[in-house]
Structures are given as C-alpha cells and as structure tokens.
Amino acid sequence: MSTENPTVAVFRPDDDRIDAAVSLLEELGVDPAPDPMLAVEPTAAVPRTDAEYVVLTSKTGAELVAEAGWKPGDASVCAIGPATADALRNVGYDVDIVPDEYTSSGLVSRLADEVDGARVEVARSDHGSDVLLSGLEAAGAYCHETILYRLVRPDGGGTTADLAAEGDLDAACFTSSLTVEHFLEAARARGDGTAALEGLNGAVVGVIGEPTAETAADLGVDVDVVSSEATFETLARETVAELE
C-alpha cells in the first residue's frame, strides 16, 4: 500500500454530500475516489400531523418534507444527529431534540423516559434500522413509520470496485450497511466480485456504526475502523489516520 497520496473511496449520494466528502478528503491529503452508491427515489409520502414527536433521520428526509410543505405543528422535532439537525434548520424547521449519541439507539435512549403513551412519527428511508421503532415501542410509544424515499444502487457505479480489484485502493469509507452491499453488488456486476473483495480487504476499511460493521463482516469485509462519532467527517479523519 502506498503511503504517498493514498486513494480513498467514498460512496456518498451524488449531491453536495459527495462534493463535501471529496473536499474533506483532499484537505486530509489523500486522493478521493468518489463512487456514489446510493440514489434517492422519493415516494411523495409525508409524515403524519397528529404525532407528539416526529423523528427525522437524514438530510434527504429533511429536504423532502420541506419540499412537500409539511408542518410539524406542536410536535417535538427530533433529529438523529447534528447533520440532520442542521439540514432541518436550513430548510426552516426548529429542532427540539438531538441525542448525544448520533444513532438509532442513542435517540431511543434520549426519548425513552418521555414517550410512554406518546404518538411518535418516524419519517425516513425504506432501509431504516429496526432498532429505532422497536426501542421506542418498548419504551411505550405508539409508533408510525412513513417511508419518505427509497435508496437504490445508482446505474453505472463501481469504479472503486475496479480500483480495489487492481490493488489500487488504499482505503474506503462506508457510511451505511447499504453502501457496503451496493459496493459488492457493483463489483459483481462488473465481473470484479472476488478480486474486489480481496482488494478491499487489503485496504483500510472504515465504517460508521456497529450495524455497518456487522453487515461488512457478514459479507466477508474486514473492518479496520468504526468511527467514534456517526459523522462522515469523523469517519474520514479516523480512516485516513489509520493509513499513517
């Protein structure tokens, strides 16, 4: 593995998130290899308006509910982490609750003592963690889930699978289980499946969260870094640090 200008794969959606990720990686002194592994298909659904708490889990969700003109009314608006909170504020919503731990389990812990008997609306993608709903229901909440969008693998992705298969990938930053799954699907679709997995396991693999780490392990991917915070910046910094 080269330690001079290492190549680091990033799989964020093809919008300002991939642009920001590329800029950050460049600042960290590595060569970004952008390869979006998630595309958004909106469902046109909107959150219910009769809940006492409304949970949003992503920047995409925040933007979609704003575009739809949804109003939270008297509900407490909950963001799963600071990135989602910032996105909600940027489109005009007040944010009432952000957990100290930026995960589904962290949000459950934050809300557990106050949602017994309350109606909680969870608005997110079709790949949301079961931990959030089951945890809130265990705390006594009446939960309803609205699927705002579906996450699919973009057409034509997989250039980083070629890099991995050729031994030219030094690190990869996976932000969700789905990005791991889609990377390997893209590799297989390009005929690089086995070689790409071997190449990936020869690189530094960083992931956000234990669920992503578990998915990666189940799929034969060796994880080197689980970021200490569930943000891309922390993931990128800690993954690049592992290259030094």
Q: 89-107, pLDDT tens digit by residue?
A: 999 999 999 999 888 889 9
Name the domain boundary from 152, 174, 195.
152
Contact by Cβ (8 Å): 178, 125: no
Pairing of strands 171-174, 7-10: parallel
Q: Do both 98 and 22 map to the same domain?
A: no
Any idea how long the chain is?
244
What is the per-residue pLDDT across 131-178, written as a single tens digit (0 to 9) for each? Answer: 999 999 999 999 999 999 999 999 888 999 999 999 999 999 999 999
- Does residue 55 lie in a domain region? yes
**Domain assignment of residue 219, yes or no:** yes
Q: Any residues with CB less than 8 A from the CB of 170 and at least 6 apart, and which?
A: 1, 2, 6, 7, 8, 30, 203, 204, 243
Neighbour tally for 241: CB within 10 Å: 12
pLDDT the model gives residue 200: 97
pLDDT along the chain (244 residues), means of 10: 78 92 97 95 95 95 96 95 94 95 90 96 92 96 97 90 96 96 95 94 95 95 94 95 92
Q: Are residues 92 and 170 in the same domain?
A: no
Torsion of CA 59, 99, 211, 242, to 10 degrees: 90
Given 129, 152, 175, which residue is the final one in a domain? 152
- Of 152, 170, 187, the residue at which a domain comes to its end is 152
What pLDDT shows up at residue 47?
96
Contact 76, 101 (CB under 8 A): no
Residue 1's pLDDT is 42
Q: Would you say residue 165 lies in a domain?
A: yes
Query: Looking at the domain assignment, is residue 2 inside a domain?
Result: no
Q: What are the distances in angstroms from CA 120 to CA 8, 63, 69, 106, 132?
A: 39, 20, 20, 16, 11
Domain that holds residue 22: 7-38+155-243
**1 lies in some domain:** no
The DSSP call for residue 161 is H
Does residue 130 share a domain with residue 218?
A: no
- The verdict on 61 and 19 lying in the same domain is no
| 140 and 160 part of one domain | no
